[in-house]
């Protein structure tokens, strides 16, 4: 066997071993990354109360209610199948609005509502000028679903 070929074999074996190591790393990553659950997942497998978790989905249309002093807000997060009521006190990101994606961190209260400590906005992968969106809306072509956002936000 030529030296070059032996090096090739060694390299391949090493890559296979490292592939295995990578699988382990991925698993470790998986457990330590910030994931969020959808409303369906939250309802199906409720976490222990007071345990900090993340809930993500869309802000359900017509559910945003701000408190009189403007500091608190309640709204529902939906994945178009189930929805969960969320309460939050604090600053909301610029992009927060009905129909927008959100990722909230907090805990599930015994009454089934979600007390959020943090509310982040998640936007989809669409980039368009305002004029184009307006034109699409005017001609009734702005997305099929009522929320007007891509499916990726409900993941």
Choose between 111 and 139: whose C-beta lies nearer to other proteins: 139
CA 110, 111, 117, 123 dihedral sign is positive
Cβ 151 vs Cβ 80: under 8 Å:
no
Cβ 88 vs Cβ 72: under 8 Å:
yes
- The DSSP output letter for 102 is E
Please work out, in degrees rounded to the nearest 5, the angle formed at the alpha carbon of residue 144 by the alpha carbons of 139 and 148.
85
Cβ 128 vs Cβ 79: under 8 Å:
no
Q: Please give the Cα distance from 65 to 55 (Å, whole number).
A: 19
Q: Which of 2, 48, 111, 129 binds other proteins (CB under 8 A)?
A: 129
In the window 50-69, what residues touch other proteins (CB under 8 A)? 56
Size of the site for other proteins (CB under 8 A): 48
Say whether residue 84 binds other proteins (CB under 8 A).
no
Q: Interface with other proteins by CB under 8 A: which range of 43-51, 66-74, 91-99, 108-116?
A: 91-99
Least spacing, CB of residue 131 vs other proteins, in Å: 7
Say whether residue 45 binds other proteins (CB under 8 A).
no
Q: Which residue has the tokens 């993500």?
A: 56
Q: Which of 22, 28, 44, 109 binds other proteins (CB under 8 A)?
A: 22
Say whether residue 76 binds other proteins (CB under 8 A).
no
Cβ 150 vs Cβ 126: under 8 Å:
yes
- 35 labeled binding residue: no
Annotated binding-site residue numbers for heme: 123, 127
Which residues form the interface with other proteins (CB under 8 A)?
4, 7-8, 11, 14-15, 18-19, 21-22, 25-26, 29-30, 32-38, 56, 91-96, 103, 118-133, 150, 152, 155
């Amino acid at each position: 066997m030529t030296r070059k070929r032996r090096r090739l074999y060694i390299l391949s074996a090493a890559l296979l071993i490292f592939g295995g190591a990578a699988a382990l790393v991925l698993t470790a990553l998986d457990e330590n990354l910030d994931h969020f659950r959808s409303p369906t997942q939250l309802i199906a497998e409720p976490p222990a109360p007071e345990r900090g978790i993340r809930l993500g989905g869309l802000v359900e249309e017509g559910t945003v209610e701000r408190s009189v002093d403007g500091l608190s807000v309640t709204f529902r997060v939906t994945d178009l199948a189930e929805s969960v009521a969320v309460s939050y006190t604090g600053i909301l990101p610029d992009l927060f609005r009905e129909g927008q994606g959100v990722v909230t961190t907090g805990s599930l209260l015994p009454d089934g509502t979600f007390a959020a400590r943090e509310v982040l906005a998640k936007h989809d992968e669409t980039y368009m000028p305002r004029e184009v969106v307006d034109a699409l809306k005017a001609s009734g072509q702005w997305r099929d679903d009522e929320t007007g956002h891509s499916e990726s936000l409900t993941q």
